[in-house]
Protein backbone atom coordinates (compact mmCIF):
# COMPACT_ATOMS: atom_id res chain seq x y z
CA UNK A 1 0.00 0.00 0.00
CA UNK A 2 1.25 3.44 -0.88
CA UNK A 3 0.75 6.15 1.72
CA UNK A 4 0.97 9.90 1.52
CA UNK A 5 0.94 12.69 4.06
CA UNK A 6 1.07 16.42 3.75
CA UNK A 7 1.22 18.94 6.53
CA UNK A 8 1.29 22.69 7.02
CA UNK A 9 1.96 24.25 10.38
CA UNK A 10 3.63 27.19 12.06
CA UNK A 11 7.03 26.52 13.57
CA UNK A 12 7.50 28.04 17.02
CA UNK A 13 10.96 27.29 18.32
CA UNK A 14 11.25 23.51 18.32
CA UNK A 15 7.49 22.96 18.36
CA UNK A 16 5.58 22.09 15.20
CA UNK A 17 1.79 22.21 15.28
CA UNK A 18 0.48 18.67 14.83
CA UNK A 19 -2.05 18.01 12.09
CA UNK A 20 -5.08 15.74 12.03
CA UNK A 21 -4.98 13.06 9.35
CA UNK A 22 -8.06 12.40 7.21
CA UNK A 23 -8.46 9.67 4.55
CA UNK A 24 -8.12 10.39 0.86
CA UNK A 25 -7.53 8.48 -2.39
CA UNK A 26 -4.34 8.86 -4.44
CA UNK A 27 -3.71 7.73 -7.98
CA UNK A 28 -1.25 5.01 -6.95
CA UNK A 29 -3.28 3.48 -4.14
CA UNK A 30 -4.84 4.16 -0.77
CA UNK A 31 -3.51 7.37 0.74
CA UNK A 32 -3.82 9.42 3.89
CA UNK A 33 -3.55 13.20 3.85
CA UNK A 34 -3.36 15.65 6.70
CA UNK A 35 -4.33 19.25 5.95
CA UNK A 36 -5.20 22.47 7.67
CA UNK A 37 -8.17 24.62 6.77
CA UNK A 38 -7.62 27.34 4.23
CA UNK A 39 -4.55 28.38 2.30
CA UNK A 40 -3.62 31.56 4.20
CA UNK A 41 -0.21 33.01 3.44
CA UNK A 42 0.65 33.66 7.07
CA UNK A 43 4.41 33.94 7.34
CA UNK A 44 4.94 33.63 3.57
CA UNK A 45 8.22 34.99 2.24
CA UNK A 46 7.73 38.51 0.97
CA UNK A 47 7.26 38.94 -2.77
CA UNK A 48 6.75 35.26 -3.53
CA UNK A 49 3.53 33.51 -4.50
CA UNK A 50 2.21 31.02 -1.99
CA UNK A 51 3.72 27.55 -2.40
CA UNK A 52 1.69 25.19 -4.59
CA UNK A 53 1.27 22.37 -2.08
CA UNK A 54 -1.04 20.41 -4.39
CA UNK A 55 1.61 20.64 -7.09
CA UNK A 56 4.24 19.49 -4.62
CA UNK A 57 2.21 16.39 -3.81
CA UNK A 58 1.75 15.75 -7.52
CA UNK A 59 5.50 15.83 -8.09
CA UNK A 60 6.10 13.27 -5.35
CA UNK A 61 3.33 10.99 -6.65
CA UNK A 62 4.83 11.15 -10.12
CA UNK A 63 8.32 10.33 -8.86
CA UNK A 64 6.98 7.22 -7.12
CA UNK A 65 5.00 6.20 -10.20
CA UNK A 66 8.19 6.56 -12.25
CA UNK A 67 10.21 4.18 -10.08
CA UNK A 68 11.21 5.83 -6.79
CA UNK A 69 10.07 3.74 -3.81
CA UNK A 70 9.55 6.94 -1.82
CA UNK A 71 9.76 10.71 -2.03
CA UNK A 72 9.42 13.62 0.37
CA UNK A 73 9.74 17.38 0.49
CA UNK A 74 9.67 20.16 3.04
CA UNK A 75 9.17 23.90 2.56
CA UNK A 76 10.10 26.31 5.35
CA UNK A 77 8.43 29.62 4.55
CA UNK A 78 9.38 32.41 6.95
CA UNK A 79 7.82 30.73 9.97
CA UNK A 80 5.39 28.38 8.25
CA UNK A 81 6.22 24.77 7.39
CA UNK A 82 4.77 22.59 4.62
CA UNK A 83 5.72 18.93 4.36
CA UNK A 84 4.69 16.11 2.03
CA UNK A 85 5.70 12.45 1.81
CA UNK A 86 4.75 9.64 -0.55
CA UNK A 87 5.66 5.98 -0.80
CA UNK A 88 7.87 3.72 1.28
CA UNK A 89 11.01 4.18 3.33
CA UNK A 90 11.66 0.44 3.21
CA UNK A 91 10.38 -1.78 0.42
CA UNK A 92 10.80 -4.97 2.44
CA UNK A 93 8.89 -3.87 5.55
CA UNK A 94 6.55 -1.49 3.68
CA UNK A 95 7.17 1.23 6.24
CA UNK A 96 5.87 4.55 4.96
CA UNK A 97 8.47 7.23 4.37
CA UNK A 98 8.43 9.89 7.10
CA UNK A 99 9.11 13.60 6.85
CA UNK A 100 11.79 13.36 9.55
CA UNK A 101 13.65 10.44 7.97
CA UNK A 102 17.35 10.94 7.34
CA UNK A 103 18.98 10.23 3.97
CA UNK A 104 22.26 10.53 2.07
CA UNK A 105 22.50 13.99 0.51
CA UNK A 106 25.27 13.25 -1.99
CA UNK A 107 26.80 16.34 -3.55
CA UNK A 108 24.94 18.73 -1.27
CA UNK A 109 27.99 17.88 0.88
CA UNK A 110 30.02 20.11 -1.44
CA UNK A 111 28.44 23.26 -0.03
CA UNK A 112 29.41 22.21 3.51
CA UNK A 113 33.00 21.65 2.36
CA UNK A 114 33.09 25.03 0.63
CA UNK A 115 31.76 26.78 3.74
CA UNK A 116 34.55 25.35 5.89
CA UNK A 117 37.20 26.57 3.43
CA UNK A 118 35.59 30.01 3.22
CA UNK A 119 35.65 30.22 7.00
CA UNK A 120 39.35 29.38 6.87
CA UNK A 121 39.75 32.20 4.36
CA UNK A 122 37.98 34.50 6.82
CA UNK A 123 40.53 33.38 9.42
CA UNK A 124 43.40 34.26 7.02
CA UNK A 125 44.51 30.64 6.92
CA UNK A 126 43.69 30.26 3.23
CA UNK A 127 43.82 32.44 0.12
CA UNK A 128 41.28 31.56 -2.56
CA UNK A 129 43.52 32.54 -5.45
CA UNK A 130 46.56 30.72 -4.11
CA UNK A 131 47.69 27.51 -5.83
CA UNK A 132 46.45 24.32 -4.21
CA UNK A 133 50.06 23.13 -4.24
CA UNK A 134 50.98 25.91 -1.80
CA UNK A 135 49.04 24.02 0.86
CA UNK A 136 49.41 20.49 -0.52
CA UNK A 137 52.88 20.51 -2.12
CA UNK A 138 53.20 18.30 -5.16
CA UNK A 139 49.62 17.05 -5.11
CA UNK A 140 48.60 18.45 -8.50
CA UNK A 141 50.61 18.56 -11.74
CA UNK A 142 49.89 22.23 -12.41
CA UNK A 143 50.70 25.08 -10.02
CA UNK A 144 48.15 27.25 -11.82
CA UNK A 145 45.24 25.32 -10.24
CA UNK A 146 43.97 27.51 -7.41
CA UNK A 147 41.62 26.90 -4.50
CA UNK A 148 39.02 29.01 -6.31
CA UNK A 149 39.31 26.80 -9.40
CA UNK A 150 38.68 23.72 -7.28
CA UNK A 151 35.63 25.14 -5.51
CA UNK A 152 34.09 26.39 -8.77
CA UNK A 153 34.74 23.23 -10.84
CA UNK A 154 37.13 25.09 -13.13
CA UNK A 155 40.32 23.19 -12.27
CA UNK A 156 40.15 20.84 -15.25
CA UNK A 157 40.69 17.81 -12.98
CA UNK A 158 39.05 14.72 -14.50
CA UNK A 159 36.12 13.24 -12.59
CA UNK A 160 37.21 9.72 -11.63
CA UNK A 161 33.59 8.69 -10.99
CA UNK A 162 32.95 8.75 -14.76
CA UNK A 163 34.91 5.51 -15.01
CA UNK A 164 34.10 4.14 -11.56
CA UNK A 165 30.36 4.12 -12.28
CA UNK A 166 30.29 3.57 -16.03
CA UNK A 167 28.06 0.60 -15.12
CA UNK A 168 25.74 1.48 -12.27
CA UNK A 169 25.33 -1.76 -10.30
CA UNK A 170 28.68 -3.44 -10.97
CA UNK A 171 30.50 -0.17 -10.37
CA UNK A 172 28.66 0.39 -7.12
CA UNK A 173 29.19 -3.14 -5.85
CA UNK A 174 32.92 -2.87 -6.59
CA UNK A 175 33.32 0.08 -4.22
CA UNK A 176 30.49 -0.09 -1.68
CA UNK A 177 32.73 -1.76 0.94
CA UNK A 178 36.05 -0.17 -0.03
CA UNK A 179 37.89 2.48 1.95
CA UNK A 180 39.94 4.90 -0.14
CA UNK A 181 42.41 7.56 0.91
CA UNK A 182 42.02 11.00 -0.59
CA UNK A 183 45.30 10.58 -2.44
CA UNK A 184 44.11 7.34 -4.04
CA UNK A 185 41.08 9.15 -5.44
CA UNK A 186 43.18 12.03 -6.74
CA UNK A 187 45.52 9.49 -8.35
CA UNK A 188 42.56 7.97 -10.22
CA UNK A 189 41.77 11.41 -11.59
CA UNK A 190 45.34 12.25 -12.59
CA UNK A 191 45.60 9.02 -14.58
CA UNK A 192 43.35 10.72 -17.16
CA UNK A 193 43.94 13.89 -19.19
CA UNK A 194 42.56 17.07 -17.72
CA UNK A 195 39.36 18.43 -19.26
CA UNK A 196 40.58 22.02 -19.66
CA UNK A 197 43.27 24.46 -18.63
CA UNK A 198 42.90 25.88 -15.10
CA UNK A 199 40.15 28.50 -15.02
CA UNK A 200 39.25 28.05 -18.70
CA UNK A 201 35.89 26.32 -18.34
CA UNK A 202 33.36 24.84 -15.93
CA UNK A 203 33.55 21.04 -15.80
CA UNK A 204 31.88 19.32 -12.87
CA UNK A 205 34.20 16.89 -11.08
CA UNK A 206 34.03 15.13 -7.74
CA UNK A 207 37.84 15.28 -7.70
CA UNK A 208 37.64 18.98 -6.91
CA UNK A 209 35.91 18.40 -3.60
CA UNK A 210 38.16 15.50 -2.68
CA UNK A 211 40.93 18.10 -2.94
CA UNK A 212 38.76 20.43 -0.82
CA UNK A 213 38.62 17.78 1.90
CA UNK A 214 42.39 17.41 1.78
CA UNK A 215 42.79 21.18 2.17
CA UNK A 216 40.46 21.21 5.19
CA UNK A 217 42.39 18.45 6.92
CA UNK A 218 45.82 19.91 6.12
CA UNK A 219 44.96 23.44 7.24
CA UNK A 220 43.16 22.47 10.44
CA UNK A 221 44.95 19.28 11.43
CA UNK A 222 41.54 17.70 12.02
CA UNK A 223 39.35 15.23 10.10
CA UNK A 224 36.66 16.84 7.97
CA UNK A 225 34.05 15.34 10.31
CA UNK A 226 35.39 17.42 13.20
CA UNK A 227 35.37 20.62 11.16
CA UNK A 228 31.84 20.04 9.84
CA UNK A 229 30.61 19.38 13.37
CA UNK A 230 32.35 22.29 15.10
CA UNK A 231 31.81 24.89 12.41
CA UNK A 232 28.36 24.00 10.99
CA UNK A 233 26.43 21.11 12.56
CA UNK A 234 26.67 22.20 16.19
CA UNK A 235 26.33 25.99 15.74
CA UNK A 236 23.18 25.50 13.61
CA UNK A 237 21.87 22.68 15.83
CA UNK A 238 21.55 20.30 12.91
CA UNK A 239 20.44 17.29 14.92
CA UNK A 240 19.95 15.02 11.90
CA UNK A 241 23.18 15.84 10.07
CA UNK A 242 26.25 13.61 10.21
CA UNK A 243 29.41 12.88 8.28
CA UNK A 244 29.56 9.09 8.27
CA UNK A 245 32.71 7.56 6.81
CA UNK A 246 33.79 4.81 6.56
CA UNK A 247 30.91 3.37 8.60
CA UNK A 248 28.21 2.04 6.28
CA UNK A 249 25.04 2.48 8.33
CA UNK A 250 22.89 5.60 8.65
CA UNK A 251 22.21 6.62 12.26
CA UNK A 252 18.71 6.84 13.73
CA UNK A 253 15.53 6.73 11.64
CA UNK A 254 16.21 6.91 7.92
CA UNK A 255 14.78 6.05 4.55
CA UNK A 256 16.53 3.43 2.46
CA UNK A 257 17.85 4.25 -1.01
CA UNK A 258 17.51 2.08 -4.12
CA UNK A 259 19.76 2.05 -7.17
CA UNK A 260 18.09 1.53 -10.56
CA UNK A 261 20.09 -0.96 -12.68
CA UNK A 262 21.13 -0.20 -16.24
CA UNK A 263 19.13 -3.19 -17.54
CA UNK A 264 15.46 -2.38 -18.01
CA UNK A 265 13.23 -4.49 -15.80
CA UNK A 266 16.01 -5.62 -13.45
CA UNK A 267 15.16 -5.30 -9.75
CA UNK A 268 16.18 -2.26 -7.74
CA UNK A 269 19.32 -2.65 -5.63
CA UNK A 270 19.22 -1.55 -1.99
CA UNK A 271 22.22 0.81 -1.92
CA UNK A 272 21.65 2.25 1.55
CA UNK A 273 24.67 0.72 3.26
CA UNK A 274 28.02 1.68 1.78
CA UNK A 275 31.22 3.32 2.98
CA UNK A 276 30.80 6.22 0.53
CA UNK A 277 34.55 6.34 0.67
CA UNK A 278 34.62 6.99 -3.07
CA UNK A 279 33.11 10.45 -2.33
CA UNK A 280 33.99 11.53 1.23
CA UNK A 281 34.11 15.35 1.34
CA UNK A 282 32.44 15.41 -2.08
CA UNK A 283 29.32 13.54 -0.98
CA UNK A 284 29.23 11.59 2.31
CA UNK A 285 26.97 13.73 4.52
CA UNK A 286 23.64 12.41 5.86
CA UNK A 287 20.88 14.86 6.75
CA UNK A 288 17.13 15.58 6.77
CA UNK A 289 14.90 18.00 4.90
CA UNK A 290 14.59 20.15 8.02
CA UNK A 291 18.34 20.44 8.53
CA UNK A 292 19.07 21.19 4.87
CA UNK A 293 16.57 24.05 4.92
CA UNK A 294 18.14 25.38 8.10
CA UNK A 295 21.63 25.16 6.61
CA UNK A 296 20.96 26.95 3.32
CA UNK A 297 18.85 29.65 4.94
CA UNK A 298 21.62 30.33 7.46
CA UNK A 299 24.24 30.39 4.71
CA UNK A 300 22.61 33.03 2.50
CA UNK A 301 21.71 35.12 5.58
CA UNK A 302 25.40 35.42 6.42
CA UNK A 303 25.42 33.30 9.55
CA UNK A 304 28.27 31.04 8.41
CA UNK A 305 30.75 33.34 6.67
CA UNK A 306 31.59 37.01 6.42
CA UNK A 307 29.71 39.05 3.83
CA UNK A 308 32.90 39.27 1.77
CA UNK A 309 33.32 35.50 1.66
CA UNK A 310 29.63 35.00 0.84
CA UNK A 311 30.08 37.41 -2.06
CA UNK A 312 32.99 35.26 -3.26
CA UNK A 313 30.77 32.20 -3.03
CA UNK A 314 28.24 33.96 -5.26
CA UNK A 315 30.62 34.86 -8.09
CA UNK A 316 28.87 32.83 -10.76
CA UNK A 317 30.14 30.83 -13.71
CA UNK A 318 27.34 30.06 -16.22
CA UNK A 319 26.56 26.37 -16.65
CA UNK A 320 23.60 26.61 -19.01
CA UNK A 321 20.64 28.91 -19.66
CA UNK A 322 19.12 28.33 -16.22
CA UNK A 323 21.98 27.44 -13.88
CA UNK A 324 25.26 28.92 -12.70
CA UNK A 325 27.89 27.75 -10.22
CA UNK A 326 29.75 29.73 -7.59
CA UNK A 327 32.00 28.21 -4.92
CA UNK A 328 30.25 25.00 -3.90
CA UNK A 329 26.93 26.74 -4.50
CA UNK A 330 24.49 26.64 -7.39
CA UNK A 331 22.10 29.33 -8.62
CA UNK A 332 19.05 28.08 -10.48
CA UNK A 333 16.56 30.33 -12.29
CA UNK A 334 13.04 28.91 -12.40
CA UNK A 335 10.31 29.26 -15.02
CA UNK A 336 8.76 32.19 -13.13
CA UNK A 337 12.03 34.13 -13.17
CA UNK A 338 12.87 33.58 -9.49
CA UNK A 339 16.43 32.50 -8.74
CA UNK A 340 17.15 30.08 -5.90
CA UNK A 341 20.43 29.06 -4.29
CA UNK A 342 21.63 25.69 -3.06
CA UNK A 343 22.81 22.40 -4.49
CA UNK A 344 21.62 19.13 -5.92
CA UNK A 345 22.79 15.72 -4.80
CA UNK A 346 23.07 12.39 -6.58
CA UNK A 347 24.33 9.33 -4.74
CA UNK A 348 23.35 5.70 -5.17
CA UNK A 349 19.73 5.44 -4.04
CA UNK A 350 18.97 9.15 -3.54
CA UNK A 351 18.21 12.28 -5.57
CA UNK A 352 18.23 15.48 -3.51
CA UNK A 353 17.26 19.09 -4.27
CA UNK A 354 18.00 21.70 -1.57
CA UNK A 355 17.55 25.41 -2.38
CA UNK A 356 16.59 28.69 -0.77
CA UNK A 357 15.69 32.21 -1.83
CA UNK A 358 18.25 35.00 -1.89
CA UNK A 359 17.09 36.24 1.52
CA UNK A 360 16.75 32.73 2.98
CA UNK A 361 13.12 33.28 3.94
CA UNK A 362 11.78 30.35 1.92
CA UNK A 363 13.67 27.06 1.55
CA UNK A 364 12.91 23.70 0.00
CA UNK A 365 14.56 20.32 0.49
CA UNK A 366 13.28 17.28 -1.39
CA UNK A 367 14.50 13.73 -1.96
CA UNK A 368 13.46 10.72 -4.04
CA UNK A 369 14.84 7.36 -2.94
CA UNK A 370 16.28 6.14 -6.21
CA UNK A 371 19.08 7.02 -8.62
CA UNK A 372 20.16 6.19 -12.19
CA UNK A 373 16.63 7.13 -13.24
CA UNK A 374 16.75 10.35 -15.24
CA UNK A 375 12.98 10.60 -15.43
CA UNK A 376 12.68 10.78 -11.65
CA UNK A 377 15.57 13.26 -11.45
CA UNK A 378 13.82 15.60 -13.88
CA UNK A 379 10.47 15.19 -12.17
CA UNK A 380 11.86 16.08 -8.75
CA UNK A 381 13.03 19.41 -10.16
CA UNK A 382 9.31 20.22 -10.17
CA UNK A 383 9.46 20.54 -6.38
CA UNK A 384 11.36 23.81 -6.93
CA UNK A 385 8.67 25.15 -9.23
CA UNK A 386 5.92 24.27 -6.74
CA UNK A 387 7.82 25.67 -3.76
CA UNK A 388 8.94 28.98 -5.21
CA UNK A 389 6.75 29.78 -8.22
CA UNK A 390 3.36 28.80 -6.79
CA UNK A 391 0.47 27.52 -8.86
CA UNK A 392 1.22 27.60 -12.59
CA UNK A 393 -0.83 29.94 -14.75
CA UNK A 394 -1.31 27.09 -17.21
CA UNK A 395 -2.06 23.53 -16.23
CA UNK A 396 1.28 21.70 -16.62
CA UNK A 397 1.91 18.10 -17.40
CA UNK A 398 1.69 16.18 -14.14
CA UNK A 399 4.85 17.25 -12.32
CA UNK A 400 6.94 17.24 -15.51
CA UNK A 401 9.89 19.59 -15.79
CA UNK A 402 11.75 20.19 -19.02
CA UNK A 403 15.51 19.96 -19.11
CA UNK A 404 17.85 17.37 -17.65
CA UNK A 405 20.06 18.50 -14.80
CA UNK A 406 23.25 19.40 -16.61
CA UNK A 407 25.59 17.92 -14.02
CA UNK A 408 24.08 14.45 -13.78
CA UNK A 409 25.23 11.77 -16.21
CA UNK A 410 23.46 8.41 -16.64
CA UNK A 411 24.76 5.83 -14.17
CA UNK A 412 27.23 8.32 -12.69
CA UNK A 413 26.70 9.29 -9.05
CA UNK A 414 27.48 12.97 -9.34
CA UNK A 415 25.75 16.31 -9.24
Q: Hey, how many other C-beta atoms are within 10 angstroms of the C-beta on 183?
A: 12
Backbone phi and psi for residue 399, each to the nearest 5 degrees, phi listed first = 65, 10
The contacts of residue 45 (CB under 8 Å, 6+ apart) are: 77, 78, 357, 359, 361, 362
Instruction: Please answer whether residues 120 and 167 qualify as being in contact, where contact means their C-beta atoms are separated by less than 8 angstroms.
Output: no
Provide the β-strand partners of residue 10. 80
Are 58 and 392 contacting, i.e. CB atoms less than 8 angstroms apart? no
Neighbours of 24 (CB within 10 A): 13
Question: Residue 275: which residues within 8 A CB-CB, separation 6 or more?
Answer: 175, 176, 177, 178, 179, 245, 246, 247, 248
At 99 the three-state DSSP class reads: coil
Would you mind telling me the total number of residues written for the chain in this entry?
415
**Active-site pick, 58, 107, 155, 297:** 107
Instruction: List helix spans (H) across 104-175.
Output: 109-122, 132-135, 147-151, 161-164, 168-175
Residue 107 annotated in active site = yes
Give the contacts of 125 (CB within 8 A, at least 6 positions apart): 219
What amino acid positions are annotated as catalytic residues?
A: 107
Amino acid sequence: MVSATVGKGAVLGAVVVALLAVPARAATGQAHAGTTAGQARTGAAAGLPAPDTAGLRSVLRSAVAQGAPGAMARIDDNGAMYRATYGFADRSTRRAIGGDDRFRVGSVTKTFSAVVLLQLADEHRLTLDAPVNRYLPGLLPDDRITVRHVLSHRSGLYDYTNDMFARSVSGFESVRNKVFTYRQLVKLSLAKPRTNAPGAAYSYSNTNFVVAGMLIEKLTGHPVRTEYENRIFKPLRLKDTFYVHPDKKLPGRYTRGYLTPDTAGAPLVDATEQTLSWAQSAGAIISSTRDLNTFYSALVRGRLTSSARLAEMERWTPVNSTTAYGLGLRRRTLSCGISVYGHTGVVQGYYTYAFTTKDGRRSLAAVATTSNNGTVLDTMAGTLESAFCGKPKKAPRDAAVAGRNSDAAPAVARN
